[in-house]
Amino acid sequence: MSEEVLRRERRGDGVVWLVLNRPKAYNSLSRELLERLDAALDELDADPTVRVIVLTGAGGKAFSSGHDLKEMGADRSYEGLRSLFRLCSRVMVKLTRIGLPVIARVEGIATAAGCQLVAACDLAVASEDARFATSGIKYGLFCSTPMVALSRNIPRKAAMEMLMTGDFIDARTAERLGLVNRVVPRAELDRAVEALCARLVDKPRSVLALGKKAFYRQLELPLEDAYALTTEVIVENALGREFEEGLRAFMEKRPPRWPEAAE
């Protein structure tokens, strides 16, 4: 390979940036890139020194344009396409399952599976010139798998309009619909992402992991079942060392010293 399709960069204490590095192809999700991303998420989740992941694209023109259509056209066999979409779905699910906050840093376009990637992240910060679309319909392919994450982020009719028309929405519309947390000028994008990271790295990693897992599980449950699940989660949390230290710090009027940070 002439270039690394996925770059890994340490940015401050506990923060790792994963950079989709196919700028000439608008950071499209080739099979190799998806495989690298899949493996990197496992490795970072297992690394106790990592506290936040930032996912972004190289080059500035695109976060990601989705699947590599040239690669898809080269192997349109049932098994080839099925394995590709299953790999992509595994990566998207893993983004919600790993015990680390994942922030999408978005500039340029995020289309089809690239838009799905933004929706699958826990948080997202976009530059003012970012644009989002589920554009598969324009090429005769309904964005069925991107629909899963998209429809869990934004209202139903807004999702259907994006899926059925394939048209772009701008960053401010994405913010209003809830696809991204905030929109900033491009020159302030890194600063905004770093500020959000700083608000997460001083929280107990194990409690963030516990809460993230419960958040995604309860979303799919009926109301009573969601309360039953989260009651058990909060009891487990309240009996843990982190809450014990948090209470002590509150009583002593000092910042908490999380047990995991001392190990």
Mean pLDDT for 104-115 is 98
State yes or no: pLDDT of 47 exceeds 70. Answer: yes
Could you write out the DSSP letters of every residue in 56-123?
EESSSSEEE--B-HHHHHH---HHHHHHHHHHHHHHHHHHHHSSS-EEEEE-SEEETHHHHHHHHSSE
Q: CA 148, CA 116: separation in Å to the nearest integer?
A: 8
Single-letter amino acid code for the residue at 140: G
Could you write out the DSSP letters of every residue in 135-154?
GGGGGT---HHHHHHHHTTS
- Bridge-based pairing state of the strands 15-20 and 52-57: parallel
Dihedral, CA of residue 64, residue 129, residue 182 and residue 125, to nearest 10:
30
205-262 shares the fold of 6-201:
no
Q: CA 22, CA 28: separation in Å to the nearest integer?
A: 7
Q: CA 165, CA 168: separation in Å to the nearest integer?
A: 9
Q: Residue ranges of the domains in the chain? A: 6-201, 205-262
Task: Dump pLDDT digits (tens) for 146-198.
Answer: 999 999 999 999 999 999 999 999 999 999 999 999 999 999 999 999 999 99
User: CB-based contacts of 191: which residues, under 8 Å, 6+ apart?
Assistant: 184
Confidence (pLDDT) at 46: 97
User: How long is the chain?
Assistant: 263
Confidence (pLDDT) at 261: 60
Confidence (pLDDT) at 263: 54
Q: Which fold has domain 6-201?
A: 2-enoyl-CoA Hydratase; Chain A, domain 1 (3.90.226)
State yes or no: pLDDT of 262 exceeds 90. Answer: no
Q: Using 50, 70 and 90 to split pLDDT, how confident is the model at 260?
A: confident
State yes or no: pLDDT of 1 exceeds 80. Answer: no
Single-letter amino acid code for the residue at 158: A
Confidence (pLDDT) at 144: 96
Mean pLDDT for 11-38 is 96
As a whole number, the mean pLDDT across the chain is 96
Closest CA to 135 of 59, 55, 69: 69
Collapsed DSSP state (helix, strand, coil) of residue 184: strand
CATH superfamily assigned to domain 205-262: Lyase 2-enoyl-coa Hydratase, Chain  A, domain 2 (1.10.12.10)
Q: Using 50, 70 and 90 to split pLDDT, how confident is the model at 85?
A: very high
Mean pLDDT for 80-107 is 97
User: CB-based contacts of 254: which residues, under 8 Å, 6+ apart?
Assistant: none
